[in-house]
Amino acid sequence: MKKINILLSTFFGYGYLTKIPGTLTSTVITFFIYIAYEILGYTDLKFSIIFFILLFFYSFYAVKDSESEFKDKDPRQIVIDEVLGQSMPLILLLYLNQTNQINISIEIYYFLSFVLFRFFDILKPFPVSYFDKNFKNCFGIIMDDIMAGLYTMILIYIISLKF
């Protein structure tokens, strides 16, 4: 089971590939979801939300089980948190698209979702920084990216109202 949890925590090994595994993983998940939603036409919002929630809760166990394999308290190889955080605004895009609240090119929204998430994940404004600094465990690893994803969702929603 530990090998499966390491595989999930590192997003099938993407966490090992570069010096910027978070950015690489965010890029990959953005393209993956873009292809699924926009090219392949997958539009099951309920399933996307349920899958996200299940992955969110399981990720705590997977990260906790995987942490002992790495030296750092917040290992850069663990990138499932980026998958979760980046997925949040992308699932919102599916909702906005289904409710006809997308008024500019959908690709621009995907690009903005990626850039804004990376911005908040790297700069860590409060409360992102709170989780990052005060919880050096699986909770902090995951929740700082959830907060960055939440900030991104809020801005994407505001942008959808303005355009």
pLDDT of residue 163: 76
pLDDT of residue 37: 97
CA–CA separation, 30 vs 24, rounded Å?
10
Residues 6+ apart with CB under 8 A from 11: 25, 28, 29, 79, 80, 82, 83
Q: Is 6 helix (H, G, I), strand (E, B) or coil?
A: helix
Domain count, the chain: 1
- Tens-digit pLDDT profile for residues 53-63: 999 999 999 99
Q: Quote the pTM value.
A: 0.94
- Tens-digit pLDDT profile for residues 105-151: 999 999 999 999 999 999 999 999 999 899 989 999 999 999 999 99
pLDDT of residue 67: 86
Question: Closest Cα partner for 112 from 46, 157, 50, 73?
Answer: 157
Within 10 A of 139 (CB to CB), how many other CB atoms are there? Answer: 14
Q: Which amino acid is at 144?
A: D
Report the interhelical angle of 45-66 vs 2-9 (nearest 10°).
Answer: 120
- Tens-digit pLDDT profile for residues 94-104: 999 999 999 89
Taking a C-beta distance cutoff of 8 angstroms, is the pair 83, 29 a contact?
yes
pLDDT of residue 71: 79
pLDDT of residue 57: 98
Domain that holds residue 53: 2-162
CA–CA separation, 77 vs 116, rounded Å?
22
Of 68-72, 85-89, 106-110, the least confident: 68-72
Taking a C-beta distance cutoff of 8 angstroms, is the pair 117, 86 a contact?
yes
- The span from the first CA to the last CA of the chain, in angstroms, equals 47
pLDDT of residue 70: 85
